[in-house]
Amino acid sequence: MKDYLVIANSKVFFICGAVIISFIILQSLMYMRLAYKEGLKIGLSKDKMVKAFRTGVISTIVPTIAVIVALMTMTPVLGIPIPWIRLSIIGSAPYELMAAGIGAKSMGVDTLGGTGYTKEVFASSIWIMCVGSIWAIMIVTFFLKKIKARYARAVNTDPKWRSILMNAAFIGVFSIFIADPLTTGGLPLATLLSGAAIMTLFAMLIVKFKQNWLREFALAFSMIGAMVCTVLIAKLF
């Protein structure tokens, strides 16, 4: 075993991970409880809230598989606790691997876990991973009240702004995931187009043919379908 992995897999990191994940689980349960109470206050039925919860659970199954695969990919290089903590809270596999790679290259090591990847290089990788993703948290911590105040003023001035801002936020989030396949092409683009086509088909079935039961499964099915299409395309071409 490489020397730095003894540190990476130490009990201290495992304890830190257990504490952090426990806090996240507790926080999630608190939010669910608050959301349920607020839903009852505004008149949402229990059936609607249960359906929304079920939809959320189903929709997160497929992305969770990708996270587990990423965790299995990162643990031989970075140990178990750090990837476990990062991927459970804020990180994504592409970012974590990129940031860890930058940390290694800044210390003169070309590949993660390769020759010369010492405990000092490991520390550099972890620092880059953490510092690079802290800014969103800092912005929310220090500027959330100001952002909410401006948002409230805009919405109160013109109610249409609520819809505009929400749609803009969703478009921005999806654009992050769409930009790379569009510029890369190949199988990533095939995956994107396959998923979009399947989701469009589900949308037609839901809207035109009133197949409302598909609402809970459309996202998960479209992701699974896109992966299947990509595997078939890769084998055929």
**Over the stretch 108-151, which tens digit does the pLDDT of each residue have?**
998 888 889 999 999 999 999 989 888 888 888 899 888 888 87
d(CA 228, CA 187): 12
- Torsion angle of the four alpha carbons 119, 123, 129, 132, in this order, in degrees rounded to the nearest 10: -150
Phi and psi of 133, rounded to 5°? -110, 5
Q: Which amino acid is at 76?
A: P
**Are residues 186 and 233 in contact, defined by beta-carbon separation less than 8 angstroms?**
no
Rounded mean pLDDT of 192-202? Answer: 95
Q: Which of 61-70, 132-141, 167-176, 200-209 has the lowest mean pLDDT?
A: 61-70
Given its phi and psi angles, is residue 112 left (phi above 0), alpha (psi -120 to 50 degrees) or beta?
beta
Which tens digits make up the pLDDT trace of 40-80?
999 999 988 988 888 888 877 767 777 787 788 789 889 99
List of residues 6+ apart from 189 with CB closer than 8 A = 181, 182
Mean pLDDT of 93-119: 87
User: Which pLDDT value is given to residue 91?
Assistant: 62
E strand intervals along the chain: none
Confidence class for position 1, pLDDT limits 50, 70, 90 = very low
Q: What pTM value is reported for the model?
A: 0.66
